[in-house]
Amino acid sequence: MIIYADNAATTKMSQTALDAMLPCFTEAYGNPSSPHHIGQEAAKLLIAARKTIADLIGAEPSEIIFTSGGSEADNQAIVTAAILGAKKGKKHIISTKIEHHAVLHTLKKLEKDGYEVTLLDVHENGIVRLEDLDAAIRPDTALVTIMYANNEIGTIQPIAEIGALCKEKGVFFHTDAVQAAGHLPVNVKEQNIDMLSLSAHKFHGPKGAGVLFVRRGIPITAIIEGGAQERGKRAGTENMPAIVGMAAAFKEACDNMSENMPKVQLLRDKLIDGLLKLDEVILNGDREKRLPGNVNVSVKGIEGESLLMMLDMQGICASSGSACTSGSLDPSHVLLAIGLIHEVAHGSLRISLSEYTTEEEVDYILEKLPPIVERLRNMSPVWKKMKEVK
Amino acid sequence: MLYSEKVMDHFSNPRNVGEIENADGVGEVGNAKCGDIMKIYLKIDDGVITDAKFNTFGCGAAIATSSMATEMIKGKTIDEALKLTNKAVAEALDGLPPVKMHCSVLAEEGVRTAMLDYYTKRGETMPEEYRPKCDGDCSECG
């Protein structure tokens, strides 16, 4: 049995999205900037894709900028909002400790350029407190950037409340909605979102396409210079197949959200309940306010990468926040931010489900995991020490 | 990052897992902060390592290097075992990804720390050049 349970990393393409993409390679392969009829065929598809995505998030088509993905969208939103702020003497940015590196590393770069960054604590449950944000906003705050939902522990932030607070204080609000888009409702008007990033391959679309939504009136600038594509906000010939596939996948995900997500959530809860029955296994992140497909536990006494490798031998593809899977010596900054000690963070296991996951697959994971955990614990000096102390 | 078939073999069927009661030398290296802890047990009779076992908390490479290192020193004399290098362990596994070389250092240090315990228990001095150097700071290796 092969089980793909790493949907927070990337998802399998939907057949609908793939079908929508293929004509972009074979028939409407023109450059949408070309005035001839083959170019104009592509231009029509581009306009349609833009409208589809705008409608699904409560935006106007002119507020949609196509990018290469979530990282580029995050970079552009933050860097250009910082430039806008600096023009008014505002050089303070607020974010959280658990953002994606696309946000955190961009903020690090800005710090070197003289900006001041406040990273809010997310406490043990992985959720920002509004009073903390309220207290952090200053007269010179240029931007608040807080992710919609976390990629590792799945926690969902109070986006509408944050949006309302930022609006009241007159501060731009950007949200990295890469994990949320297609899985949770997004409405930029109702949620008072000024800028939003999303990525196609997290909702069964292709890799290499993303969106930056920017509310009309915010004079955002390009970070990739060149041609006049995307109203001058992002140069480069549009990645047409990926954009068209993204629109089709996003429509499919949003149209079926109210049906699919409760089903995914039931499987998630079954998996969490089953895992928590094991000795010394803890859930990371809030139990309720979490993505429908996200399961993240720490299996005490063992290390994540060896756990992943043994699961893989049983056909199960999952993920971990251990250092060994990150290529550095430190475990995930997200797990450390919610207060985990290093060795417990090293033993984290993320299983991320999608609407393609079946109950049989969840049962299979619950059947295969316990003997693997036992085997690794039997050779773990950390586990043996833990048991001696008790 | 890709593991060799030998690493996968020693990871999925690790040799010498366990503990030795009344071991002649025991050494624990690494720390939980970096995510790798290795504990090596040695049985030594007449200057020959007659048995070696390990317990390891760590990634696939940490388990595979523990398995290979204990395999390599079994049946060897103390002098031979002291000369075991991390490079030799990595080579015996048909190589390790660069980010995992520190796991082979841990294996070498584990064996040497167990040896140091053996020398200490006997009231003897371990040759200076083979003394373990690990100070628990993982960023020093690899």
Q: Nearest 10 degrees: CA dihedral of B57, B59, B62, B65? A: 130
Q: Which residues of A touch B101 (CB under 8 A)?
A: none
Cβ pair B35:A306 closer than 8 A: no
Which residues of chain B have a CB within 8 Å of the CB of A378? 17
Evaluate if residue B93 carries a pLDDT over 60. Answer: yes
Beta-carbon neighbour count of residue A89 at 10 Å? 9
In three-state secondary structure terms, A201 is: helix
pLDDT of residue A329: 66
Helix, strand or coil for residue A129?
Answer: coil
Q: Does the pLDDT value for residue A389 go beyond 90?
A: no
- pLDDT, mean over chain A: 96
pLDDT at A371: 98
Contact state of A379 with B14 under an 8 Å Cβ cutoff = yes
Weakest-pLDDT range from A58-62, A323-327, B23-27, B89-93: A323-327
Distance of CA B61 to the CA centre of its chain: 12
Q: Residues A253-274: what's their mean pLDDT?
A: 98
Tell me what the mean pLDDT of segment A270-280 comes to.
Answer: 98
Average pLDDT over residues A21-43: 96
**Residue B134: predicted pLDDT:** 66
pLDDT single digits (tens) A45-98:
999 999 999 999 999 999 999 999 999 999 999 999 999 999 999 999 999 999
CA distances, A180 to each of A156, B39, B130 (Å): 8, 43, 54
| Gap from B114 CA to chain A (nearest CA, Å) | 15
Flag whether pLDDT at B136 surpasses 80. Answer: no
> Which of chain B's residues have a Cβ under 8 Å away from the Cβ of A306?
11, 58-60, 62-63
Q: Chain B contact for A28, CB < 8 A? A: no
User: What confidence score (pLDDT) does residue B142 get?
Assistant: 46
For CA atoms A381, A386, A388, A389, the dihedral sign is positive
pLDDT at B16 over 60: yes
What local confidence, expressed as pLDDT, does residue B31 receive? 83
Backbone angles phi, psi at A292, to 5 degrees: -55, -30
**Sign of dihedral through CA atoms A294, A295, A297, A302?**
negative
DSSP code per residue over A270-287:
HHHHHHHTSTTEEE-S-S
In contact, A349 and A317? CB cutoff 8 Å? no
Using alpha carbons, select from A238, A279, A250 the residue that is nearest to residue A39.
Answer: A238
CA-to-CA separations, A241 to A34, A106, A154, A216, in angstroms, rounded: 16, 28, 30, 27
B119-127's contacts with Cβ under 8 Å and 24+ in sequence apart are: B119/B25, B121/B24, B121/B25, B127/B82
Whether A389 contacts chain B with CB within 8 A: no
Q: What confidence score (pLDDT) does residue B2 get? A: 87
Sign of CA dihedral A254, A130, A86, A79: negative
Is the ipTM higher than 0.95? The answer is: no
Cα separation, B24 vs A2, whole angstroms: 46
Predicted confidence (pLDDT) per residue in A334-374, tens digit: 999 999 999 899 999 999 999 999 999 999 999 999 999 99
Average pLDDT (A110-138) is: 98
Chain B residues with beta carbon closer than 8 angstroms to that of A324: 35, 58-61, 100
Verify whether the Cβ–Cβ distance B63 to A379 is below 8 Å.
yes
What is this structure's pTM? Answer: 0.94
pLDDT tops 80 at residue A325: no
Q: State whether residue A223 sits within 8 Å of chain B by CB.
A: no
Task: Check A378 against B17: CB less than 8 A apart.
Answer: yes
pLDDT bracket for residue A330 (50, 70, 90): confident
B75 backbone φψ class: left, alpha, beta (φ>0; ψ -120 to 50): left
**Which CA distances in Å does A145 have to A56, A106, A109, A198, A355?**
22, 11, 15, 14, 29
Mean pLDDT of A131-151: 98
Backbone phi, psi, residue A162, to 5°: -65, -45
pLDDT at B135: 61
Q: What is d(CA A366, CA A267) in angstroms, rounded to the nearest whole number?
A: 12
Is the CB of B60 less than 8 angstroms away from the CB of A342? no
Q: Which residues pair with A351 in a beta bridge?
A: A295
| A306 close to B (CB below 8 A) | yes
CA distance B4 to chain A (A): 13
Cross-sheet strand order for the sheet of A172-176: A64-67, A210-214, A195-199, A172-176, A141-145, A92-96, A116-120
Q: What's the confidence (pLDDT) of residue A262?
A: 97
pLDDT value of position B114: 96
Q: Which two tokens stand for residue A308?
A: 């992943």
A141-145 and A92-96 strand pairing: parallel
